[in-house]
Chains A and B, each alone.
Chain A
């Protein structure tokens, strides 16, 4: 199995000088290509912080994140942005899309940043929006899409850049259960058929049930990892 994410001994302390908050404590996390993994835990357990560190959006107080063999803590700010552009797909809880761009433009935009040729961009925009079931919404702006549709565009956008893996921080938190299920169906299908690696956080039990591996975070520590448990059994 090929390692995609290797987070080693990650700790994050907010406000170290005033009222220190130990958001993440000595976390080791190892993810292989093709995984479909949920990071779960109550609100405030450190899920967002950990995902941000893995995604190179935030620097850990201690520890290292190695993605595909590259230690991202060593990258300079602009290198890091470029690394994110080419290696990581992001789906946030909300505000994923550029409001002034249509669905297809939002998906195309990331490929434009990557300087992909026009023909490839157009083909992929159609492919991806079709695969998230939004072929009929190509020229619609985000404000005219439902929350679930917006999140599906975000997944298409995250995939457009052909990343190593997709990080999704509570992607279903703002969705009703039906939309959440549809989104999960799409993510699962992509994982199954195209071996796209997903790491997503959630505290929704119905979403947790869909994950193949579940890592439970409590107070910034990994309390349980289903992968490790399975090995022990």
Chain B
């Protein structure tokens, strides 16, 4: 019956309760929607990191991480044999990677040269899709190079221009080759773009003497969930090599994901804090208005625990009934915008790309966070209830009743 009383009391001042309920709904809607945007950004960032940048797993020679020297390489055929036996692996790319100088008539710049198999590189990270101008690397054409639009702009390069790459070979001797720019690419990660050029692996191997060897193996899996099992499998199969998951290769991505989680919770928390003041105020007024009634109840034998419970129950109801409506609205908004996407690029220009984000965000409702949010709402309600409930307890029946 306490529940019935609390529920009916809630609607004694309909307008007031509706205002609070609506605020909670709006707050939940905004909070959850912002959370969905954050989460969508995180998901997109994760997809970019895995699908276009670092893949799920990378394998290196243990010395390579500290010193990107050409001599720290691995035998291609034995790697390929291991990878081909694991069905969870969707594609892999074996690369020769070395640092060097890119020189043109107008200047030079330190860069990383990636020698790739064009088809494998397409299969693991969709490299061809990022070509903005000109052509992707042609497996049949010698000494072609793919540079980023950003670098091209900086060094005033154009398609068809010749550049010279100066590199160190496996014996640390300086070697150089002339390459013709076949195309300009542009990924979602502008800072990386500026540092990387792509050539055919065979061309690079010829220059630095790494035929049949690779510095880097990038592995794309069918499913994110296979990450850890495959990781363990590879560690066993290739004990002498350094095996890393995307979290280790790109710790900033992992960090961004966890901080987006934190941000959205902080955001929700601030909203709830604001709402709790409204709730407390409303309930204080409700208690004040019912001074006589509460005094009478205490006089006839309702103990403090029950009085407390009655006020808490009413507060929780007040706080909680608006939440599902807000969550539903957020869900619908997310469903709709998750389809069309929000083009933040239109507002923020290229700056999102500079941080490695795609400009169009597809909000995603993170269910575990929604559950967390509901728990937070409940917690807020309980906390907000304490003050008004204590106020009710402090009433003295004689004083409350005296007319």
Residues of A within 8 A of B (CB): 48, 52, 55, 57-58, 77-78, 81-82, 84-86, 90, 92-96, 98-101, 105, 108-110, 112-114, 157-158, 161
Alpha-carbon distance A105/B304, docked complex (angstroms): 21
The size class of the interface chain B forms with chain A is 20 to 34
Docked-complex contact A112 and B300, CB < 8 angstroms:
no
Residues from chain A with a CB closer than 8 A to the CB of B78 are: none
**Further contacts, 7 of them, CB under 8 A, given A82-B301, A92-B299, A101-B5:** A84-B301, A95-B293, A98-B293, A101-B8, A110-B300, A113-B301, A158-B300
B164 at the interface (CB under 8 A from A): no
Shortest Cβ distance from residue B259 to the other chain A in the assembled complex, whole angstroms: 47
24 intermolecular pairs with C-beta atoms under 8 Å apart: A52-B398, A57-B397, A57-B401, A58-B398, A77-B304, A78-B304, A85-B303, A86-B301, A90-B300, A95-B292, A95-B293, A95-B296, A98-B5, A98-B297, A100-B4, A100-B5, A100-B9, A100-B12, A101-B1, A101-B8, A108-B1, A114-B301, A157-B300, A161-B300
Residues from chain B with a CB closer than 8 A to the CB of A90 are: 299-300
Docked-complex contact A92 and B296, CB < 8 angstroms:
yes
Docked-complex contact A57 and B398, CB < 8 angstroms:
yes
Alpha-carbon distance A93/B292, docked complex (angstroms): 12
Given contacts A100-B12, A112-B1, contact A95 B401 (CB under 8 A): yes
Residues from chain A with a CB closer than 8 A to the CB of B223 are: none
Docked-complex contact B1 and A109, CB < 8 angstroms:
yes
Alpha-carbon distance A84/B303, docked complex (angstroms): 10
Shortest Cβ distance from residue B202 to the other chain A in the assembled complex, whole angstroms: 84
From A57, A77, A161, B299 is in contact (CB under 8 Å) with A57
Docked-complex contact B300 and A85, CB < 8 angstroms:
yes
Given contacts A94-B403, A100-B12, contact A81 B303 (CB under 8 A): yes
Residue of B nearest to A86 (CB): B301
Docked-complex contact A82 and B1, CB < 8 angstroms:
no
A-contact bits for B1-40, CB 8 A (1 contact / 0 none): 1001100110010000000000000000000000000000
Alpha-carbon distance A187/B303, docked complex (angstroms): 28
From A85, A94, A98, A101, B301 is in contact (CB under 8 Å) with A85
Task: List the 7 shortest-distance A-B pairs measured between CB atoms, nearest first.
Answer: A85-B301, A100-B8, A95-B292, A58-B398, A84-B301, A81-B303, A57-B398
Residues from chain A with a CB closer than 8 A to the CB of B298 are: 81
Alpha-carbon distance A81/B302, docked complex (angstroms): 7
Docked-complex contact A84 and B299, CB < 8 angstroms:
yes
B153 at the interface (CB under 8 A from A): no
Given contacts A98-B5, A100-B5, contact A78 B303 (CB under 8 A): yes
Residues from chain A with a CB closer than 8 A to the CB of B85 are: none
Alpha-carbon distance A92/B398, docked complex (angstroms): 11
Shortest Cβ distance from residue B11 to the other chain A in the assembled complex, whole angstroms: 8
Residue of A nearest to B290 (CB): A99
Across the A-B interface, how many residue pairs have beta carbons closer than 8 Å? Answer: 68
Shortest Cβ distance from residue B297 to the other chain A in the assembled complex, whole angstroms: 7
B402 at the interface (CB under 8 A from A): yes
Alpha-carbon distance A86/B301, docked complex (angstroms): 8
Alpha-carbon distance A114/B300, docked complex (angstroms): 11
Alpha-carbon distance A77/B397, docked complex (angstroms): 12
Residues from chain A with a CB closer than 8 A to the CB of B296 are: 92, 95-96
Alpha-carbon distance A66/B29, docked complex (angstroms): 59
Residue of A nearest to B12 (CB): A100
Shortest Cβ distance from residue A85 to the other chain B in the assembled complex, whole angstroms: 3
Shortest Cβ distance from residue B104 to the other chain A in the assembled complex, whole angstroms: 84
Residues from chain B with a CB closer than 8 A to the CB of A108 are: 1
Shortest Cβ distance from residue A200 to the other chain B in the assembled complex, whole angstroms: 16
Given contacts A92-B401, A98-B293, A100-B9, contact A113 B299 (CB under 8 A): no
Residue of A nearest to B5 (CB): A100
B90 at the interface (CB under 8 A from A): no
Residues from chain B with a CB closer than 8 A to the CB of A82 are: 301, 303
Alpha-carbon distance A99/B297, docked complex (angstroms): 12
Interface-centre pick from B8, B292, B298, B300 (highest chain A CB count, 10 A): B300
Shortest Cβ distance from residue A142 to the other chain B in the assembled complex, whole angstroms: 11
Question: Quick one: which of B366-403 are within 8 Å of A by CB?
Answer: 397-398, 401-403
Alpha-carbon distance A110/B300, docked complex (angstroms): 8
Residues from chain A with a CB closer than 8 A to the CB of B297 are: 98
Residue of B nearest to A48 (CB): B402
A-contact bits for B294-335, CB 8 A (1 contact / 0 none): 001111111110100000000000000000000000000000
Residue of B nearest to A77 (CB): B304
Alpha-carbon distance A115/B301, docked complex (angstroms): 12
Shortest Cβ distance from residue A5 to the other chain B in the assembled complex, whole angstroms: 17
Residues from chain B with a CB closer than 8 A to the CB of A77 are: 304
Residues from chain A with a CB closer than 8 A to the CB of B304 are: 77-78, 81
Alpha-carbon distance A100/B293, docked complex (angstroms): 11
Alpha-carbon distance A158/B299, docked complex (angstroms): 11
Alpha-carbon distance A109/B403, docked complex (angstroms): 24
Shortest Cβ distance from residue A53 to the other chain B in the assembled complex, whole angstroms: 9
Residue of B nearest to A100 (CB): B8
Alpha-carbon distance A3/B302, docked complex (angstroms): 26
Docked-complex contact A84 and B9, CB < 8 angstroms:
no
Shortest Cβ distance from residue B287 to the other chain A in the assembled complex, whole angstroms: 15
